[in-house]
Amino acid sequence: MKLSTPIEYVKGVGPQRGEKLQSELGVLTCEDLLNLFPFRYNDRSQFHKVNQLHPDMPNVQIVGKLRHIQEFGKPRQRRLSAKLVDETGTVELVWFKGVQWVKKNLKEGVDYVLFGKPSIFKGKINFAHPELEPLSKANARKKASLEPVYSTTEKLTGVGLHSKGLAKLIKTVLDSGEIRFEETMSKELMEHYKLIDKTKAYHIVHQPPDSRSLQMARYRLKFEELFFVQMQILRSKLNRQEKYKGFVFERVGENFNNFYQNHLPFELTRAQKRVMKELRRDLGTGEQMNRLLQGDVGSGKTMVALLTMLIAIDNGYQCAMIAPTEILANQHYVTLKEQLEGTGINVDLLTGSIKKSDRKPIHEQLEKGETNILVGTHALLQESVRFANLGIVVIDEQHRFGVAQRSKMWRKNTRPPHVLVMSATPIPRTLAMTLYGDLSVSVIDELPPGRKPIETIHKRDQHRLEVFGFLKKEIEKGRQVYIVYPLIEESAKMDYKDLMDGYEAISRAFPPPDYRISIVHGKMKAEDKDYEMQQFVDGNTQIMVATTVIEVGVNVPNASVMVIESAERFGLSQLHQLRGRVGRGAEQSYCVLMTGNKLSAEARKRMETMVRTQDGFEVAEVDLELRGPGDIMGTQQSGVLNLQIADLAKDGKLLQLARHAAIQVLKEDPKLELPQNSNVAKGYAKVQKERPNWGRIS
């Protein structure tokens, strides 16, 4: 049996199971099967007594005598219950599925080994669908102390390929004795980073003899995976530097100096000055700049972007600024027009809703080079938009722009323009290194002086009247208020009802003419949405009731309170983004998180994190820990990554090691031509072929 052997030829698979493995998990060969890594291991070496159990424990193992097997419930809702007793106490067992099969295989008065997750029900320790094995049978066979657990699907379970079924197949393949992985690490890397042999690592990961060996095997395979991710990102960056030369912005001229001395509304913070130096350095090298600018809402990213665009204009180039929504594009346009008034710099706006007849003069001025800065949405990516001399592109909110869209902007000129990506969603360091490995990262980590921290409060639903009373006091002071409801695609109808019910309750609590309310939701036409938004921005309404459409966008310095309904249904980064909609003026601002009484441990941690800190990077790290990288970046980016064994939420230090190793190898051998790197070159070629997406991450 070889790694390339088709999966249906493995003993115990056959055509039916083979087809299911292919359609459900993408497994075509023995190698694919071995790349299904366990997502956890059950420790079968430890035993507990009943009186040691509590509901916060993970899976546990106990030995006891089975008593009181009973079947109950209506015919279609039959349940099975039993008790397991040891010398310290009794636990309750319950089964909801496969009742007849379970009952047939259990015998009262026999000693069993139980394995399962304890929970509490009516004050008693309870196990739902535990795994039971007669003690005599367990003693008779040697059992691995660390038992691998594999992810599977309902359809696979239907053909006997549950976790144990997959483990059995993997054992069959490994025990054939013919499986040999080609080494992909050089001798130097293996010695320096203490990496064990690759084939040995696969055997141990699937059949671990002990936890120390397992640790070494997982370290080896994770290191390799992260090393090749970084190799692809770094090589694509090297290729681009060789292929494309950027524009050199040699001078800082009168546009920059005039604005800095006469129009700058406030003194730059130390962080803004540091980032400006980093950008100036990039723009003077002659290489294309690709920089990610991170900073919380209100940290002054847009001002840094404007100063950078002025340097481009001083060097004879045009600038493009792209935002993810029309409202945000409009806001950038208005802000830039106001800030650049009296400077002679021409700013124009191009979005999807601008009429065809109005577009013509915009296109003409752009092609003649008369427009200095063009602000817009993805409409700027259309082929018909031609610049005379595009030198820099500023992209706001990276999460919403894919790699393909970024590269479209390159084709707007003979040389690729410099790219500055602004993100108000702080991205944890490990993700930034992986997803934006080709982008240098700048961070504005301080807010302008005079900004008061936003006070975040967690309130339960029964305190809503108290919260309404607080809102009335804020409105009496002349402030404005956001009340936000969740909107999740799959339950759009239910969410729409929640929003409308909430709107009615708010309308009763805040009646006209004393109060004026705007409402914005996904079912509205774009122009109605924009009208309602504008009413709130202009101060004509005091309360904005909305779904999360306000997450990205509007700047209302007079808004002092953000109430988030059903806050437990939002991710941490979303909550942090919404909180950033207030606190933009000099007054004290508040964020109120409304939840029900029953919260999962994860939801509780999200609320506690929001109340404890306003540091976007700390919030992002907790979010990554709770949700994992795929959810944070959205399906498009997680599909690009698709890591098999490494976990960016937990393997940050290992990622840095792997990145350092990749940098060193490419520094000495950029084309991987040296004999000592022949293994690495083979491994890299294989990864390029099988995982081409990694190269497109950047």
Asked whether the predicted pLDDT for residue 200 surpasses 90, the reply is yes
Asked whether residue 53 falls in the same domain as residue 27, the answer is no
Q: What is the CATH number of the domain that holds 62?
A: 2.40.50.140
Asked whether the predicted pLDDT for residue 491 surpasses 90, the reply is no
**Looking at the domain assignment, is residue 645 inside a domain?**
no
Q: What is the structure's pLDDT at 496?
A: 63
Q: What is the structure's pLDDT at 436?
A: 63
Asked whether residue 401 falls in the same domain as residue 459, the answer is no
Asked whether the predicted pLDDT for residue 326 surpasses 50, the reply is yes
How much of the chain is in helix, strand and coil states, percent to nearest 5?
45, 20, 35
**Looking at the domain assignment, is residue 180 inside a domain?**
no
Amino acid (one-letter) located at 196: I
What's the CA gap between 592 and 611, in Å, rounded? 9
The band of 121, judged by pLDDT with boundaries at 50, 70 and 90, is: confident
Asked whether residue 70 falls in the same domain as residue 160, the answer is no
Asked whether residue 132 falls in the same domain as residue 214, the answer is no
Asked whether residue 33 falls in the same domain as residue 61, the answer is no
Give the residue, 471 or 569, on which the prediction is more confident: 471
Asked whether the predicted pLDDT for residue 302 surpasses 80, the reply is yes
**Looking at the domain assignment, is residue 435 inside a domain?**
no
Q: What is the structure's pLDDT at 171?
A: 93
Cβ partners under 8 Å of residue 573, min gap 6:
425, 619, 620, 623, 632
| Alpha carbon of residue 98 to chain centroid | 38
Q: What integer best gives the mean pLDDT of the chain?
A: 85
Q: What is the structure's pLDDT at 494?
A: 61
Which of 97-106, 199-208, 541-550 ranks highest by mean pLDDT?
A: 199-208
Give the residue, 497 or 227, on which the prediction is more confident: 227
Please give the average per-residue pLDDT across 273-287, as a whole number.
Answer: 91
Q: What is the structure's pLDDT at 635?
A: 35
Asked whether the predicted pLDDT for residue 336 surpasses 90, the reply is yes
CB-count burial class (<10 Å; 0-12, 13-18, 19+) for 220? buried
**Looking at the domain assignment, is residue 411 inside a domain?**
yes
Instruction: Give the residue among 131, 110, 119 at the shortest CA–CA distance from 64.
Output: 110
Cα separation values, 76 from 73, 105, 169, 270, 411, Å: 8, 21, 35, 69, 64
pLDDT in tens, 643-665: 788 877 678 789 889 999 999 99
Three-point CA angle 71, 72, 76, nearest 5°: 105
What's the per-residue H, E or C state across 539-567? CCCCEEEECHHHCCCCCCCCEEEEEECCH
Q: What is the structure's pLDDT at 435?
A: 62
Instruction: Give the residue among 308, 202, 203 at the shortest CA–CA distance from 256.
Output: 308
Asked which of 559, 593, 613 is the last residue of a domain, the reply is: 613
Asked whether the predicted pLDDT for residue 553 surpasses 70, the reply is no
Asked whether residue 276 falls in the same domain as residue 127, the answer is no
Q: What is the structure's pLDDT at 401?
A: 45
Q: What is the CATH number of the domain that holds 531?
A: 3.40.50.300
Asked whether residue 162 falls in the same domain as residue 215, the answer is no
Long-range CB contact pairs, 122-125, < 8 A, 24+: 124/91, 124/92, 125/50, 125/53, 125/54, 125/55, 125/89, 125/91, 125/92
Asked whether residue 278 falls in the same domain as residue 383, the answer is yes
| Alpha carbon of residue 241 to chain centroid | 29
Q: Which of 143-147, 231-235, 424-428, 668-672 has the lowest mean pLDDT?
A: 424-428
Asked whether residue 303 falls in the same domain as residue 194, the answer is no
Cβ partners under 8 Å of residue 194, min gap 6:
none
The band of 166, judged by pLDDT with boundaries at 50, 70 and 90, is: very high
The gap between the terminal CA atoms of the chain, to the nearest Å, is: 38
Interhelix angle 198-206/163-175, rounded to 10 degrees, is 140
Taking a C-beta distance cutoff of 8 angstroms, is the pair 222, 423 a contact?
no
Give the residue, 463 or 242, on which the prediction is more confident: 463
Instruction: Give the residue among 579, 654, 581, 572 at the shortest CA–CA distance from 620.
Output: 572
Share of the chain above pLDDT 90, in %: 42
**Looking at the domain assignment, is residue 447 inside a domain?**
no
Pair of tokens at residue 246: 């950027």
Q: What is the structure's pLDDT at 140?
A: 66
pLDDT in tens, 360-385: 999 999 999 999 999 998 777 776 78
What's the CA gap between 367 and 391, in Å, rounded? 14
Please give the average per-residue pLDDT across 490-502, as a whole number.
Answer: 66
Which residues span the domain enclosing 502? 455-613
Mark 662-692 as b/e (b = at least 16 C-beta within 10 Å).
beebbeebeebeeeebebbbebbeebeeebe
Please give the average per-residue pLDDT across 473-486, as a whole number.
Answer: 92
Cβ atoms within 10 Å, residue 400: 17
How many CA atoms does the CB half-sphere of 174 hold within 13 Å? 19
Cβ partners under 8 Å of residue 473, min gap 6:
none
**Looking at the domain assignment, is residue 646 inside a domain?**
no
Q: Report the predicted TM-score, pTM, of the whole model to 2 decimal places.
A: 0.65
Long-range CB contact pairs, 634-638, < 8 A, 24+: 634/399, 636/402, 637/435, 637/697
Asked whether the predicted pLDDT for residue 399 surpasses 60, the reply is no
**Looking at the domain assignment, is residue 445 inside a domain?**
no
Q: What is the DSSP string of 389-418?
A: SEEEEEEE-GGGS-HHHHHHHHTTSSSPPE
What's the CA gap between 51 and 223, in Å, rounded? 42
Asked whether residue 22 falls in the same domain as residue 109, the answer is no
Cβ atoms within 10 Å, residue 167: 20
Q: Which of 7-21, 225-239, 428-442, 566-580 has the lowest mean pLDDT?
A: 428-442
Give the residue, 369 or 533, on which the prediction is more confident: 369
The band of 77, judged by pLDDT with boundaries at 50, 70 and 90, is: confident
Please give the average per-residue pLDDT across 239-267, as a whole number.
Answer: 85
Share of the chain above pLDDT 70, in %: 88
CB-count burial class (<10 Å; 0-12, 13-18, 19+) for 451? middle
Asked whether residue 579 falls in the same domain as residue 557, the answer is yes
pLDDT in tens, 209-222: 988 999 999 999 99
What's the CA gap between 63 and 115, in Å, rounded? 9
The band of 479, judged by pLDDT with boundaries at 50, 70 and 90, is: very high
Count of domains observed in the chain: 5
pLDDT in tens, 134-157: 988 777 666 667 889 898 888 888
Asked which of 554, 589, 613 is the last residue of a domain, the reply is: 613
What's the per-residue H, E or C state across 569-620? HCCHHHHHHHHCCCCCCCCCCEEEEEECCCCCHHHHHHHHHHHHCCCHHHHH
Taking a C-beta distance cutoff of 8 angstroms, is the pair 587, 478 a contact?
no
The band of 501, judged by pLDDT with boundaries at 50, 70 and 90, is: confident
pLDDT in tens, 46-67: 889 998 888 878 888 999 999 9
Instruction: Give the residue among 528, 522, 561 at the shortest CA–CA distance from 542.
Output: 561
Q: What is the structure's pLDDT at 493?
A: 60
Q: What is the structure's pLDDT at 510?
A: 94
Asked which of 423, 438, 473 is the last residue of a domain, the reply is: 423
The band of 291, judged by pLDDT with boundaries at 50, 70 and 90, is: confident
Give the residue, 685 or 498, on which the prediction is more confident: 685
The total number of residues shown for the chain amounts to 698
CB-count burial class (<10 Å; 0-12, 13-18, 19+) for 509? middle
pLDDT in tens, 616-639: 878 888 887 776 655 544 433 444
Q: What is the structure's pLDDT at 434?
A: 65
Q: What is the structure's pLDDT at 403?
A: 44
Q: What is the structure's pLDDT at 490?
A: 41
Amino acid (one-letter) located at 153: T
Q: What is the DSSP string of 461-515?
A: GGGHHHHHHHHHHHHHTT-EEEEE----GGGHHHHHHHHHHHHHHHHHHS-TTT-
Asked whether residue 465 falls in the same domain as residue 523, the answer is yes
**Looking at the domain assignment, is residue 364 inside a domain?**
yes
Asked whether the predicted pLDDT for residue 234 surpasses 80, the reply is yes
